[in-house]
Amino acid sequence: MKTGVEQLTLDERLKYLRIMRARYQQADRQTKTALLDQMVAVTGLHRKSVLRQLGGDLQRHPRSTERSATYGPEVQAALAVIAESLDYVCAERRHPQVVPPAEYLAAHGELLPAAGGGLGDFVGSGGRGRALRHRPTLRLRRDALDQRTRRSPAAAPLH
């Protein structure tokens, strides 16, 4: 698509091509060339792509099957423990640091060795954002706060 030009959404593009298909099918050869040039300019697609879509049904289709989880529950649990041990660092920084903490945690009994085996595949595949889908929220208890933080402003000494 050309830069600086507003892009059509998928629904808008399909609607436009459905309208233009009727005109395209009734046109002679020279008019088809002009219509095809216009459709390429409006949609930003290549000529072959526009022709392929004109020959199709121009409808959106839902996925036939949803994507399944790539890693088992052992690897996901291991990644959750590693993310917690690394203080929930972002995926780009965590990526090269997955295997050493896994070996360390397995040596100290915090991680099952079987789960560590799947982490090599995780690192090789660029596992971004898979460690924790639901990061736990941290809440401070009211009684755990330091007394100094709960003082009223009137009780604070003036310097």
Cα separations in angstroms, 153 against 16, 150, 157? 65, 9, 9
pLDDT at 146: 52
**Contact between 47 and 40 (Cβ < 8 Å):** yes
Give the number of residues written for the chain: 159
Q: Which residues contact 54 (CB under 8 A, 6 or more apart)?
A: 17, 20, 21, 24
Q: Does residue 23 form part of some domain?
A: yes
Domain interval for residue 107: 73-124
Specify if 117 maps to a domain.
yes
Asked if residue 36 is part of any domain, the answer here is yes
Higher pLDDT, 73 or 30: 30
Identity (one letter) of the amino acid at 92? E
Residue carrying the six token digits 């839902």: 62
Tokens 């994507």 belong to which residue? 67
132 pLDDT tier (thresholds 50, 70, 90) = very low
Task: Say if residue 50 is in the same domain as residue 85.
Answer: no
- The pTM assigned to this predicted structure is 0.42
Specify whether 51 is located in the same domain as 83.
no
Residues 42, 79 within the same domain:
no
Q: Does position 72 have pLDDT exceeding 50, yes or no? A: yes
